[in-house]
């Protein structure tokens, strides 16, 4: 429960930092029923892009904090999105239940949002053999399509906005995107800072033991970068802050420890 509250705080903090508006106005969204997380919301200038179970919804944010709907684009079962210039990339087809729907597979849609009144699908990638997992992540000038099967974690890299295939890394480990050029892998209470070497390699460029900063030796399972230089790492007891200006050597800044109980 504590971890959920911490993650919720970080998501809200990120949204408010992007642009000031009354967060309670989210309740006024006309069609929204559910969202998947922080990657379901993007603020561009005075507009809110919001991904729900129904697809993409676009709203205008007014000076008084109110919002009004502009347009929507129906996309079946979207999971999350990445925004790059005039395009929005949406992964769709994730199915949360155990049953399999024939012909139901993962699709990544490229949506032109240059005209917010008329978002239009202009291209798509299809993962016809994949129907039950997947997420997309922004990584500098690339997009990562991450998915899992019996071989391990797959990280497919595509250029943005062209969707040109760059390469794939298959790993036994989960790799967390830190910023536009770095990834983080955790083994116990050791952080491995990595960079991507196309087409098929993650290279370790920094290692740090973080056991001294974890009360109860809980692993860190949520990460967020602030202003490109500060990494927050969160576990059940701690919110820690790290300077990542030098990616080869993370510098500990401070931490907040939640009370026990």
- pLDDT in the model for residue 82: 96
Same domain? For 166 and 180 the reply is no
In this structure, are 167 and 68 located in the same domain?
yes
* Tokens read off for 76: 């079946």
DSSP string, 76-113: SSEEEEEEETTEEEEEE----SSS--TT--EEEEEEE-
Which residue bears the tokens 């504590």? 2
Domain end residue (candidates: 127, 157, 172): 172
Answer yes or no: do 58 and 184 share one domain.
no
> Does one domain contain both 220 and 142?
no
Q: pLDDT-derived band of residue 259, with 50, 70 and 90 as boundaries? A: confident
Are 208 and 255 found together in one domain?
Answer: yes
% the chain with pLDDT above 90:
62
Whether residues 154 and 230 share a domain: the answer is no
Q: Are 36 and 255 in contact (CB under 8 A)?
A: no
Sheet with 251-257: strands ordered across: 222-226, 230-234, 238-243, 251-257
Is residue 161 a contact partner of residue 84, using CB atoms and an 8 Å limit? yes
Give residues with Cβ within 8 angstroms of 189, minimum separation 6. Answer: 209, 210, 211, 214, 217, 219, 220
pLDDT confidence of residue 11: 47
Shared-domain flag, residues 180 and 152: no
Give the DSSP H/E element, type plus range, for residue 10: helix 2-18
Domain boundary among 115, 144, 172: 172
69-93, pLDDT tens digit by residue?
Answer: 999 999 988 889 999 999 999 998 7
Number of domains in the chain: 2
**Range in 6-15, 145-154, 156-165, 199-208 with the lowest mean pLDDT:** 6-15
Query: 20-24, 235-239, 253-257: which range is least confident on average?
Result: 20-24
- pLDDT confidence of 52, banded at 50, 70, 90? confident
Distance CA(52)–CA(41), nearest Å, equals 9
């Amino acid at each position: 429960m504590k971890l959920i509250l911490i993650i919720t705080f970080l998501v809200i903090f990120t949204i408010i930092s992007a642009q000031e508006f009354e967060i309670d106005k989210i309740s006024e969204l006309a069609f929204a029923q559910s969202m998947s997380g922080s990657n379901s919301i993007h603020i561009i200038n005075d507009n809110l892009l919001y991904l729900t179970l129904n697809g993409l919804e676009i709203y205008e944010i007014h000076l008084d904090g109110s919002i009004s709907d502009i347009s929507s684009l129906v996309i079946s079962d979207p999971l999350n999105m990445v925004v790059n210039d005039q395009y929005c990339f949406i992964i769709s087809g994730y199915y949360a239940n155990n049953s399999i729907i024939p012909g139901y597979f993962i699709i990544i849609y490229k949506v032109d949002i240059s005209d917010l009144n008329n978002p239009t699908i202009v291209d798509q990638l299809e993962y016809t053999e994949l129907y039950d997992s997947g997420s997309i992540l922004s990584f500098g000038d690339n997009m990562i399509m991450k998915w899992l099967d019996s071989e391990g974690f797959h990280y497919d890299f595509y250029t943005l906005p062209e969707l040109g295939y760059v390469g794939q890394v298959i790993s036994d480990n989960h790799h967390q995107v830190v910023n536009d050029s770095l990834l983080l892998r955790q083994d116990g209470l050791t952080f491995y800072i990595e960079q991507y070497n196309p087409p098929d390699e993650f290279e370790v460029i920094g290692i740090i033991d973080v056991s001294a900063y974890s009360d109860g030796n809980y692993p860190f399972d949520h990460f967020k970068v602030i202003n490109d230089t500060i990494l927050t790492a969160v576990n059940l007891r701690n919110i820690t802050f790290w300077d990542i200006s030098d990616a080869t050597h993370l510098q500990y800044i401070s931490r907040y420890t939640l009370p026990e109980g």
